[in-house]
Chains A and B, each alone.
Chain A
Amino acid sequence: MNIIVCIKQVPDTAEIKINPETNTLMREGVPSIINPFDLHALEAAVRIKEDLGARVTALTMGPPQAENSLREAVSMGADDAVLLSDRAFAGSDTWATSYALAGAIRKLGADIVFCGKQAIDGDTAQVGPETAEFLGIPHVSYVRKIEWIRDNTIRVQRLMDEGYDVVESPLPVLLTVVKELNQPRMPSLKGKMAARKARIRIMGKADIDADEDSLGLKGSPTKVKSIFAPETKAGRMMLGGGPEEQVDTLIKELRKIRCL
């Protein structure tokens, strides 16, 4: 069985803020990490390899520096690492990202493709399902448990708003995973050695038989027009005085707007 895990290198966003005066991102010193959901995807793949036997390939589309994430993936148990990198891919939205990833996956071949539920920077959760559509294979989102794999079929639990669905799908399939699925392992010593020696395969646009007009900025239907800081509510009021006076004013204000 061949398993491909799609991983994205992201800034550790919990730390990224926007400067409200200049409207610019303050990303100085923010480290790059593997998108946290993708670590759970990788862990799921490595466990299937341990249980049933499989070859696990980590795949990322990004700039040359994204190689670091791939080495980290190898240290956690991936057998192969593929870096999809080409100037032509730059500026891709989810449509163009999925188009390119699907091109690479088709070339590599996979029985199961794993993605994270969403990337913590773009936050769209769209790349998984769009990639499945381009590949012409089914997908299941929000997988929180893999029940079994046999006879070319997989049974998983899909997290929903009010509980979960038990879903069966034939292989090949694409799964996007949530954090409840597992606890990702720490890299072993052996893994770290393998990571250092790992050969990273690089694929460019010529390797995925792509239609030039569907790549990168040119191929992307959505355009980010501007970014800005989340607005703070107008008409806010700090209530002064001692506790009694503060409570008093609050009650008066709430009665004024008929909330009490």
Chain B
Amino acid sequence: MSVIVRQDKCTGCETCVDSCPFDAIEMRDGRAFINEYCNACTTCLPVCPEGAIIETEAGAAPSDSGTKFADYRDVLVFAEQRDGRTAPVSFELLGAGRRLADRLGSRLLAVLLGADEAEAEELVRWGADRVYLCSDPVFRRFNDDTYAAALLRIIEEQKPSIVLAGATPVGRSFIPRVAARLRTGLTADCTSLEIDGETGNLVQIRPAFGGNIMASILCPDYRPQMATVRPRVMKRGRYDEGRTGEIINTGFKDLESRTRVVETVKEVSEISVNLHEADIIVAGGRGAGGEKGFKLLRELAEAVGGVIGASRAAVDEGWVPYSHQVGQTGKTVNPKIYFACGISGAVQHLVGMQSSDIIIAVNRNPDAPIFNVATYGIVGDMFEIVPMLTARIKELKGQS
């Protein structure tokens, strides 16, 4: 399949040039020309007002993945642990994995390395049908070689159709090695996963260009379809105390790692943990104006039982420590309520908080982009609104 411009129809209007995510359309002699950087994604087709851009060898029939990949059925989740305790992202993956497996009518498998049986049972209660458990202490610490070798063996044996892992420092480091070896595609940092009704392929949605665009990505001709999934984005499934499943103790002999972790140093502040787990976050930006603004926000946070977040602007100004920063270069959060006060809403901030259940934005500028994602928008002065809100909430809580 390839995409070409019909030179007889092209009027040289250049509309298509900017539509290409790969910069593959250039103007030659007053006509659009598609160069070799084309990915055949067809984004430009509907853009041309003349209908001059067409697909040649048109639409190779949707690949018949049903029969070609009949051996590849299950959904497999890599469940990450830290110090032997299952990491929260694993439960989110099980939630997403369960939905996909139910949709496909297949089983949900989980792989747990370096934790014990009690943790494996938890994975079953969160939705896994079968857990491959390896309690060998060699897996307590993360080494790319051992993790990649172990996961690779289970995948080669079980032939899952879909493999999911957290887009954490661990997942993003070793999963690419596994994909490279399996000669299959890996989609990074996904925020949504669906099954295409027609082909049964996994449709993977992910942000690119620093969160400025979203891309929908397929891996139609190779199996398994692999994805890392951004933490705090997928919803957990239902926890079922009485759920039963299989736990398979797996031993790996002769696994060796070329790299060696000689020491693990913890540098967590209370706050960073709190931000991830908070139900309510009260965040301020440049509009908070300084320490005084943040004092008001702290009072609101106290009244609602929330914690303080901040945009990069406020952190750069030195009003709040970096550990409070939400966004592309800070933390991704997903609370029930996110108060954005005096935050304009640059994409880099939005990518870190837009999946919050409810977003309340207070900003003086009615055109601030934060209002595009806000559930409730208040155009106004936070120095006026926030104390009023705090007082009203205190009042309400005093009554109850």
A residues apposed to B, CB below 8 Å: 11, 13-14, 16-18, 22-28, 63, 87, 90-91, 93-95, 98, 120-130, 132-134, 138-142, 155, 158-170, 173, 216-217, 220-233, 235-239, 243-244, 246-248, 250-251, 253-254, 257, 259-260
From B183, B260, B267, residue with most partner A Cβ within 10 Å: B260
Q: Tell me how far the C-beta of B350 lies from the nearest C-beta in chain A, rounded to whole angstroms.
A: 7
When the two chains form their complex, are residues B174 and A129 in contact, meaning their CB atoms are under 8 A apart? yes
- Closest residue of chain A to B381, judged by CB? A243
Q: Tell me how far the C-beta of B193 lies from the nearest C-beta in chain A, rounded to whole angstroms.
A: 14
Bound-state Cα–Cα, A142 to B259, Å: 14
Bound-state Cα–Cα, A118 to B149, Å: 24
Q: Tell me how far the C-beta of B290 lies from the nearest C-beta in chain A, rounded to whole angstroms.
A: 21
User: Is B70 at the interface (CB under 8 A from chain A)?
Assistant: no
A-B contact list, 21 entries, CB within 8 Å: A17-B212, A17-B347, A23-B19, A94-B186, A133-B181, A139-B144, A139-B177, A155-B262, A160-B170, A161-B82, A165-B264, A223-B39, A223-B218, A226-B43, A227-B43, A227-B213, A228-B213, A230-B211, A233-B372, A238-B378, A239-B378
Cβ 8 A contact of B267, one of A13, A162, A243: A162
Given contacts A167-B260, A246-B385, are A121 and B209 in contact (CB under 8 A)?
Answer: yes
Query: B214-225 toward A: CB 8 Å interface, digit per residue (1/0)?
Result: 111111111000
Cβ 8 A contact of B265, one of A11, A25, A166, A168: A166
When the two chains form their complex, are residues A239 and B377 in contact, meaning their CB atoms are under 8 A apart? yes
- Closest residue of chain A to B37, judged by CB? A90
Given contacts A163-B267, A247-B389, are A98 and B180 in contact (CB under 8 A)?
Answer: yes
Q: Tell me how far the C-beta of B291 lies from the nearest C-beta in chain A, rounded to whole angstroms.
A: 23
When the two chains form their complex, are residues B392 and A246 in contact, meaning their CB atoms are under 8 A apart? no
Enumerate chain A residues within 8 angstroms of B145, measured Cβ to Cβ: 138
When the two chains form their complex, are residues A91 and B360 in contact, meaning their CB atoms are under 8 A apart? no
When the two chains form their complex, are residues A237 and B377 in contact, meaning their CB atoms are under 8 A apart? yes
Bound-state Cα–Cα, A199 to B261, Å: 41
When the two chains form their complex, are residues B180 and A163 in contact, meaning their CB atoms are under 8 A apart? no
Stretch from B20-28, B129-137, B156-164, B233-241 that touches the partner: B20-28
Query: B256-275 toward A: CB 8 Å interface, digit per residue (1/0)?
Result: 01111111111110000000
Range of interface residues on chain B?
A: 35 or more
Bound-state Cα–Cα, A169 to B222, Å: 32
Cβ 8 A contact of B214, one of A87, A124, A167, A227: A227
Given contacts A161-B169, A167-B260, A228-B216, are A250 and B47 in contact (CB under 8 A)?
Answer: no
User: Is B54 at the interface (CB under 8 A from chain A)?
Assistant: no
When the two chains form their complex, are residues B258 and A133 in contact, meaning their CB atoms are under 8 A apart? no
User: Is B315 at the interface (CB under 8 A from chain A)?
Assistant: no
Enumerate chain A residues within 8 angstroms of B19, measured Cβ to Cβ: 22-25
Enumerate chain A residues within 8 angstroms of B264, measured Cβ to Cβ: 160, 163-166
Enumerate chain A residues within 8 angstroms of B176, measured Cβ to Cβ: 94, 98, 125-130, 133
Cβ 8 A contact of B38, one of A90, A124, A166: A90
Given contacts A166-B263, A225-B203, A244-B388, are A27 and B39 in contact (CB under 8 A)?
Answer: no
When the two chains form their complex, are residues B22 and A91 in contact, meaning their CB atoms are under 8 A apart? yes
Enumerate chain A residues within 8 angstroms of B374, measured Cβ to Cβ: 233, 236
Q: A223-B218, A243-B384, A250-B376 are in contact. List 7 more A-B contacts (CB 8 A).
A: A129-B144, A140-B144, A159-B169, A225-B216, A232-B372, A236-B373, A246-B385
User: Is B5 at the interface (CB under 8 A from chain A)?
Assistant: no
When the two chains form their complex, are residues B380 and A243 in contact, meaning their CB atoms are under 8 A apart? yes
User: Is B375 at the interface (CB under 8 A from chain A)?
Assistant: yes
When the two chains form their complex, are residues B262 and A16 in contact, meaning their CB atoms are under 8 A apart? no
When the two chains form their complex, are residues A251 and B396 in contact, meaning their CB atoms are under 8 A apart? yes
Bound-state Cα–Cα, A129 to B21, Å: 24
Q: Tell me how far the C-beta of B241 lies from the nearest C-beta in chain A, rounded to whole angstroms.
A: 25
When the two chains form their complex, are residues B216 and A232 in contact, meaning their CB atoms are under 8 A apart? no
- Closest residue of chain A to B143, judged by CB? A167
Q: Tell me how far the C-beta of B228 lies from the nearest C-beta in chain A, rounded to whole angstroms.
A: 9
Cβ 8 A contact of A251, one of B41, B208, B393: B393
Given contacts A28-B18, A141-B173, A251-B393, are A222 and B266 in contact (CB under 8 A)?
Answer: no
